[in-house]
Chain A
Amino acid sequence: MSTTVVPARAAWSAVVRTGETLTITDLHGNQAVDFLVYDAHDTSVRYSAPDTIHAQSGIFLTTGSVLMSNEHTPLMTVTADEVGRHDTVGGACSKESNTLRYGHHTWSQHACVDNFLAEGAKYGLGKRDLVSNINWYMNVPVEKDGTLGIVDGLSAPGLKLTLRAERDVLVLVSNCPQINNPCNGFEPTAVQMTIGVSG
């Protein structure tokens, strides 16, 4: 078992082997964890939000949700979840989208896409390898008229979720640095990653 604390605003990555588990702990509560996952042996096969959504006929992730690839094959399964609902729709924050959502004054702020680009580059991944990601611990309800938004989180200090790898996978994480919406309670904090043997 190996445990790493990912500092606030930082990126992280690891290869998780078939059958191993990855447990994410929201150490301080309401910290969005932006998450992408690839087949470790062929990174063109990667997490697909649309395949995951239509496979389970729903947009929220929780225990039992299977993270599907763009070839509609399982990459990881959520085996435990103490929160109940995680986001598949909102994607990552970026310096560019921040200019649209909040204004150009945010341009100097760090963002998840920059974390993904920097961390992905260690594996030869580039911009075209980034797609709509999962946001663990982020709460994005959708109203009847389609209005959606990132609202106050449902998580709390110490809440965990566990994923089991269904094949050897490469996981990229951005510990979200966003300070303009409630996804991190307006104060980004550290999260913990633990890779373990399936029990």
Chain B
Amino acid sequence: MATATTYGARAHARAQEGTRAEAMPVVPAADWPAPPCEAGHLVWAETVAGGNYTHRVLARGTELRLTDLHGDACAHLLLYAADRPWERLNVADTVKVQWNAYLGEGQLLLSDQGRVLASLVADTSGHHDALCGTSTLVRNTERYGDGTPQSDSPAGRELFKLAAAKNGLEPRDLPPSLSFFQGVEIRDDGSLDFTGSTGPGGSVTLRAEQDVTVLIANVPHPADPRDDYVSTPLEVLAWRAEATAPGDPLWEATPEGRRAFLNTTEFLAARGLA
């Protein structure tokens, strides 16, 4: 198609509509082929390429399912209270308050304000990590020859910087992150044991317990021992659901979690938000 003229260039651009790529957002999300809920409840449906990132603001009560389609995704995650980013994921409080270093079903992702940002309501993988954070430009350059966003081996932190910037945030707003689908265990002497993936199809579902800004980078785990940069697509689906409420088993599961939910709902009620 001729693109030497404005008319030709416009026609050329418009002719691209309808092209399908393996990694892309499906808009509207209701067009997603096999929704895990009523199709009309889907608010976000996307496949994130290996070495890429995405971000979204989710309303309280939204459920977010991440799926490792081919077995080598690693979803690095950061959470902020939407429009109040000074309240954000605190990994240290998350593991300390819940007396557990490992992420799994029933864990709450806590902010630094003694409140819940999201809860982990389903997990078919069990291979996750709250200790190692994500990869950096320096280390990816050492390991793979490059770590810039435009390279074939982008670093998680570089992608987080971009996702953060698109939400008005700066590098100093990036705290330690969590990652899903590539496991790390701790031996008795404190050393790390990288247990990798459980294979294709593993998924985790998070439930937003406040309005949250979600940043996701899909890049290899920093402790992945393979020489090659191996990063396969991540499926991201989100749908409208309900926040955890008093009486739900998750609300009552632990005294620490119950107080975190109480702190959260009192805070939201005082603001007129729940």
Q: A residues near B, CB below 8 A?
A: 43-44, 46, 48-51, 53-54, 57-60, 70-73, 85, 89-92, 94, 96-101, 103-104, 113, 126-133, 142, 144-150
With A100-B259, A101-B96 known as contacts, the answer to whether A148 contacts B190 (CB < 8 A) is: no
B92 located at the interface, meaning its Cβ lies under 8 Å from any Cβ of chain A in the complex: yes
Q: What is the 8 Å Cβ interface bit string for chain B, positions 71-111, against chain A (1 contact, 0 not)?
A: 00000000000000110101111011101111000000010
B100: which of A91, A132, A147, A150 is its contact (CB, 8 Å)?
A147
CB–CB A57/B223 < 8 A? yes
A48 surroundings in chain B (CB, below 8 A): 133, 176
Smallest CB–CB gap between B145 and chain A, Å? 15
Sample (8) of A-B pairs whose CB atoms are under 8 Å apart:
A44-B170, A48-B176, A50-B132, A60-B190, A89-B96, A89-B101, A97-B96, A97-B112
B108-142 residues with Cβ-Cβ distance < 8 A to A are 110, 112-115, 131-134, 136-139
CA gap between A130 and B91 in the complex, in Å: 12
**Residue of B86, B95, B263 contacting most chain A CB atoms (<10 Å):** B95
**Residue of B95, B112, B190 contacting most chain A CB atoms (<10 Å):** B190
CB–CB B190/A44 < 8 A? no
B177 surroundings in chain A (CB, below 8 A): 50
B101: which of A54, A127, A131, A146 is its contact (CB, 8 Å)?
A146
CA gap between A92 and B138 in the complex, in Å: 28
CB–CB B92/A100 < 8 A? no
Smallest CB–CB gap between B205 and chain A, Å? 20
**Residue of A46, A70, A90 contacting most chain B CB atoms (<10 Å):** A70
The 4 closest A-B pairs by CB, nearest first: A91-B92, A50-B133, A96-B114, A146-B102
CB–CB A59/B90 < 8 A? no
Residues of B in contact with A, size category: 35 or more
CB–CB A49/B96 < 8 A? no
Q: B residues near A, CB below 8 A?
A: 85-86, 88, 90-93, 95-97, 99-102, 110, 112-115, 131-134, 136-139, 157, 170-177, 186, 188-192, 222-223, 256, 259-260, 263
**Residue of B86, B131, B192 contacting most chain A CB atoms (<10 Å):** B131
**Residue of A46, A85, A98, A146 contacting most chain B CB atoms (<10 Å):** A146
CB–CB A51/B114 < 8 A? no
CB–CB B86/A91 < 8 A? no
CB–CB B192/A131 < 8 A? no
CB–CB A59/B133 < 8 A? no
A71 surroundings in chain B (CB, below 8 A): 136-138, 157
CB–CB A100/B101 < 8 A? no
Smallest CB–CB gap between B204 and chain A, Å? 16
Additional A-B contact list (19), CB under 8 Å, known A97-B112, A100-B263: A48-B133, A53-B192, A54-B192, A70-B174, A91-B96, A94-B114, A96-B115, A96-B263, A97-B93, A97-B114, A100-B97, A131-B176, A132-B91, A133-B92, A142-B186, A145-B100, A146-B101, A146-B186, A148-B96
CA gap between A106 and B97 in the complex, in Å: 15
B223 surroundings in chain A (CB, below 8 A): 54, 57
CB–CB B131/A59 < 8 A? yes
The residue of chain B having its C-beta at the shortest distance from the C-beta of A99 within the complex is: B114
CA gap between A98 and B260 in the complex, in Å: 11
CB–CB A131/B175 < 8 A? yes
**Residue of B114, B138, B259 contacting most chain A CB atoms (<10 Å):** B114
